């Protein structure tokens, strides 16, 4: 068959023409596809790092949620540890200062105890033991050295060691020329020099007993004649026990002459030991007891005695303000406990410069139930150490209401801890439970645990161990229970072991 090639060139496309057109279209399509692919690859290369970064960022943000909470918890723990370390550092500093003060007070207490023991040996006529103690006390160079030397000489004289006694007396006179023991030492010196090499017989027990009985009777019947005889004995070189007995015999009479005599001795007419005894005896009559008004009345008073009538409170206040002897001041503070003179105690607690005496007055206020006076002191006081002593006085008075107030609202954390500790010792478990529930400070919660431990309240510690969310506090509660060996604690330990 013959195919005709006669076509109208204007209306029908020839094969060659189609091929050329197809090639052209293909070329254009290829070129377009090529550009598209290249653009896609470029876009993919551009987008891929961005997507990877975005994914990493997204993953990081996702992980950061628990990590952020963990970091915050660790930061809180670190902050709390720093605060606790700082608090412990401050407490250690306070403890060191307190220990220093306590060591000094312990030293003074030991010296006083040694002195009192020596005096007791003298009273029991154990002169060898007394000599040993007063010799040691004199070497320690404490506040009682002048007194120790005097009583050392007294014991040496009783033991027949006259040369040693005179040497001790000479030391009192040369080293302590202003001492109030000098007069007693000079009286003893006269006795030693007048005696032979054998012990004196003047102060033998039977004679002293007879003298004391006779003088006691004289004070009851004729105090006018008893007074000068008593003063002569008090100014002599008799034993401290004998002098105290004679002075007490005068005090028992309660006569105006006896009150005058006690007033003179209390003002320092005799040695400090007897002065403290006179202060003690005066306080037994009460703060309103009248002194003076005998033989000359208001204008003259007793010849050589106190001018005009006054109360024991007035007299003791005058003595307190005029003396620098801490032993005498302490005796006056303690005498207020017998007389119930809280007004004077408050004044001494406010104005005394000696920290030791201030604390003595504050403690005595607590023992006399002076809670209103203690409240005045607490409100006006700025020293944390003194405020702590006042809280201890509230504890002595049994005032749990004021202790609760300090435990709940005191700004000083250390004072709050002191109050919490005292509440535990007072057995106020209900108050401690309330404080623990409301408190947010870790150290105060820990102090409540300590208070429960000190007071032996295992039941309360078990309750906290079961309910406490803070792992550290829970552990501390369990640790304390493990040391108590209580029924409640042991049962709780078994629960832990069986979980």
What is the structure's pLDDT at 190? 76
Which CATH fold would you assign to the domain 121-194?
1.25.40
Helix, strand, coil abundance in the chain, percent, nearest 5: 80, 0, 20
The closest of 450, 442, 444 to 407, measured between CA atoms, is 444
271 CB-near residues (< 8 Å, 6+ apart):
147, 150, 180, 181, 183, 184
How many whole angstroms separate alpha carbon 448 and alpha carbon 446?
A: 5
Tell me how many degrees the CA angle 290-293-297 measures, rounded to the nearest 5. Answer: 155
Give the start-to-end residue ranges of the domains of the chain. 24-63, 121-194, 205-464
What is the structure's pLDDT at 396? 92
The answer to whether residues 313 and 341 touch, using CB atoms and an 8 Å cutoff, is: yes
| Matching fold, domains 121-194 and 205-464 | no
What is the structure's pLDDT at 433? 87
What is the structure's pLDDT at 133? 94
Give the dihedral of Cα atoms 346, 349, 352, 355; nearest 10 deg: 170
How many whole angstroms separate alpha carbon 286 and alpha carbon 279?
A: 11
The answer to whether residues 465 and 474 touch, using CB atoms and an 8 Å cutoff, is: yes
| CATH code, residues 205-464 | 1.25.10.10
What is the structure's pLDDT at 104? 82
How many whole angstroms separate alpha carbon 315 and alpha carbon 296?
A: 19
> Could you count the other beta carbons within 10 Å of the beta carbon of residue 493?
15
How many whole angstroms separate alpha carbon 185 and alpha carbon 234?
A: 13
Residue 279 sits at φ, ψ, to 5 deg, of -60, -45
Question: Average pLDDT of each block of 10 consecutive residues along the chain (499 residues)?
Answer: 39 40 42 43 40 44 53 77 82 81 83 90 90 93 90 92 91 89 83 61 50 82 90 83 89 91 89 90 83 46 47 90 90 90 93 90 94 94 90 92 89 91 88 88 90 89 90 90 89 86
Tell me how many degrees the CA angle 266-270-276 measures, rounded to the nearest 5. Answer: 40
Q: Cα separations (Å) of 97 from 94, 208, 389?
A: 5, 50, 15
pTM metric for this prediction: 0.62
HSE-up (13 A, CA, CB side) for residue 415? 23
């Amino acid at each position: 068959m013959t195919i005709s090639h006669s076509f109208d060139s204007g209306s029908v496309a020839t094969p060659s023409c189609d091929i050329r057109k197809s090639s052209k279209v293909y070329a254009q399509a290829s070129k377009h596809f090529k550009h598209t692919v290249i653009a896609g690859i470029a876009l993919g290369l551009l987008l891929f790092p961005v997507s990877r970064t975005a994914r990493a960022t997204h993953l990081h943000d996702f992980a950061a949620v628990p990590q952020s909470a963990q970091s915050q918890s660790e930061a809180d723990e670190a902050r709390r540890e720093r605060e606790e370390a700082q608090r412990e550092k401050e407490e250690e500093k306070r403890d060191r200062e307190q220990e220093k003060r306590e060591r000094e007070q312990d030293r003074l207490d030991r010296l006083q105890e040694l002195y009192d023991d020596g005096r007791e040996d003298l009273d029991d006529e154990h002169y060898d033991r007394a000599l040993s103690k007063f010799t040691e006390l004199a070497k320690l160079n404490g506040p009682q050295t002048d007194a120790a030397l005097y009583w050392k000489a007294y014991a040496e004289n009783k033991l027949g060691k006259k040369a040693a006694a005179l040497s001790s007396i000479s030391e009192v006179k040369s080293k302590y020329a202003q001492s109030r023991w000098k007069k007693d030492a000079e009286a003893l010196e006269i006795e030693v020099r007048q005696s032979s090499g054998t012990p004196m017989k003047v102060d033998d027990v039977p004679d002293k007993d007879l003298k004391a009985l006779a003088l006691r009777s004289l004070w009851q019947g004729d105090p006018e004649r008893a007074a000068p005889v008593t003063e002569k004995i008090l100014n002599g070189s008799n034993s401290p026990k004998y002098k105290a007995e004679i002075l007490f015999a005068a005090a028992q009479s309660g006569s105006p002459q006896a009150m005058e005599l006690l007033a003179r001795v209390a003002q320092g007419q005799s040695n400090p030991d007897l002065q403290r005894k006179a202060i003690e005896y005066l306080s037994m009559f009460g703060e309103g007891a009248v002194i003076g008004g005998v033989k000359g009345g208001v204008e003259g008073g007793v010849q050589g005695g106190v001018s005009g009538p006054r109360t024991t409170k007035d007299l003791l206040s005058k003595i307190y303000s005029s003396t620098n002897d801490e032993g005498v001041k302490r005796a006056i503070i303690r005498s207020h406990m017998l007389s119930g003179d809280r007004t004077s105690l408050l004044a001494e607690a406010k104005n005394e410069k000696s920290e030791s005496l201030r604390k003595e007055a504050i403690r005595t206020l607590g023992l006399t139930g002076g809670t209103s006076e203690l409240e005045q002191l607490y409100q006006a006081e700025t020293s944390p150490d003194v405020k702590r002593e006042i809280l201890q006085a509230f504890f002595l008075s049994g005032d749990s209401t004021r202790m609760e107030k300090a435990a709940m609202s005191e700004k000083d954390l250390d004072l709050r801890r002191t109050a919490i500790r005292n509440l535990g010792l007072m057995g106020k478990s209900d108050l401690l439970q309330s404080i623990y529930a409301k408190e947010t400070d870790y150290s105060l919660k820990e102090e409540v645990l300590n208070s429960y431990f000190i007071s032996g309240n295992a039941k309360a510690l078990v309750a906290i161990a079961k309910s406490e969310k803070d792992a550290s506090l829970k552990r501390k509660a369990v640790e304390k229970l493990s040391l108590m060996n209580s029924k409640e604690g042991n049962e709780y330990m078994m629960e832990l072991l069986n979980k």
